[in-house]
């Protein structure tokens, strides 16, 4: 079974988490028999609220626990470390129906635990094969996805608002991704843009997947701390993400 991986990236405040949650809602509705793993790679863990799912612990909690055992000399060898990481990682996953949720947690703390991080990344890649879809809500930049989550993704969804800074960040991430990550396709979603925004006027960018304007439904949803499942079907963020999903799936199957 090939696992299809979506990763969202872009500057802060452009709506990556909301769009990640919207994609998960759409995948659950379109493929009710498929298993989905949602990975929150942002230290703020906002995807938990957007999905109304609270993980028992984060991946960083596991990393620190194993690192502490290494400091005490309690881990014997690589095999034991890998087994311990996989055991604890399963404790991090919250489940609801066919949806599983895993949070990466805080940025790496002081100290060098490169071996621990490498094993955790390996285990995460191992368990991802148990799912049909993996959706990663990343923090700004692509390096963190490459370093702490996965080395290859199927669909890199770059999210920007209409600002020059947002567009520059998208361009930079695309360049970095081309060097660091094996990516089958990439595209841009312009989110929260003003009426009349023309993506053709911003210069050379990856293919545009969708242009989403102001979304009062999503804004009200955020203020109330509600999940993406409380949004009406006609909400602009859902319609825009549906358009992007159709394009990504079509290109993937071409």
pLDDT of residue 111: 47
Q: What is the CATH number of the domain that holds 41?
A: 3.40.50.300
pLDDT of residue 144: 62
pLDDT of residue 73: 62
Give the strand order in the sheet containing 99-103.
94-96, 99-103, 36-41, 133-138, 4-10, 152-160, 182-193, 208-213
Task: Spell out, as residue ranges, where the chain has pLDDT lower than 70.
Answer: 1, 44-45, 69-86, 106-120, 123, 140-150, 254
Residue where the block lists tokens 């028999």:
33
For residue 126, the enclosing domain spans: 4-253
Number of domains into which the chain is organized: 1
Rounded CA gap, 97 and 100, in Å?
Answer: 8
The backbone region for 81, taken as left when phi is positive above 0, alpha when psi lies in -120 to 50, beta otherwise, is alpha
Average pLDDT, the chain: 83
pLDDT of residue 174: 83
The reported pTM is: 0.87
Residue 51 contacts by C-beta under 8 Å, 6 or more apart in sequence?
21, 24, 38, 99, 101, 227, 228, 229
pLDDT of residue 26: 98
Residue 115 contacts by C-beta under 8 Å, 6 or more apart in sequence?
78, 81
């Amino acid at each position: 079974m090939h696992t299809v991986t979506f990763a969202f990236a872009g500057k802060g405040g452009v709506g990556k988490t909301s769009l990640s949650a919207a994609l998960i809602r759409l995948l659950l509705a379109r493929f009710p028999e498929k298993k989905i793993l949602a990975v929150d790679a942002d230290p703020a863990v906002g995807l938990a609220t957007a999905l109304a799912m609270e993980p028992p612990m984060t991946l960083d909690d596991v990393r620190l626990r194993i690192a502490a055992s290494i400091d005490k000399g309690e881990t014997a060898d690589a095999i034991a470390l890998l087994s311990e990481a996989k055991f604890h990682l399963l404790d991090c996953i919250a489940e609801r129906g066919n949806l599983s949720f895993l949070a990466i947690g805080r940025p790496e703390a002081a100290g060098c635990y490169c071996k621990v991080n490498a094993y955790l990344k390996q285990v995460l890649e191992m368990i991802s094969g148990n799912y049909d879809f993996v959706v990663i809500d990343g923090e700004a930049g692509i390096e963190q996805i490459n370093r702490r989550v996965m080395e290859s993704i199927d669909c890199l969804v770059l999210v920007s608002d209409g600002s020059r800074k947002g567009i520059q960040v998208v361009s930079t991430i695309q360049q970095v991704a081309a060097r660091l990550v094996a990516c089958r396709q990439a595209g841009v979603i312009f989110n929260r843009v003003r009426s009349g925004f023309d993506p053709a006027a911003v210069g050379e960018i990856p293919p545009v997947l969708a242009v989403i304007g102001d979304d009062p439904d999503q804004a009200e949803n955020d203020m109330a701390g509600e999940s993406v499942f409380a949004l009406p079907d006609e909400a602009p963020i859902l319609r825009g993400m549906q358009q992007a999903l159709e394009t990504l799936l079509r290109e993937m199957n071409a």
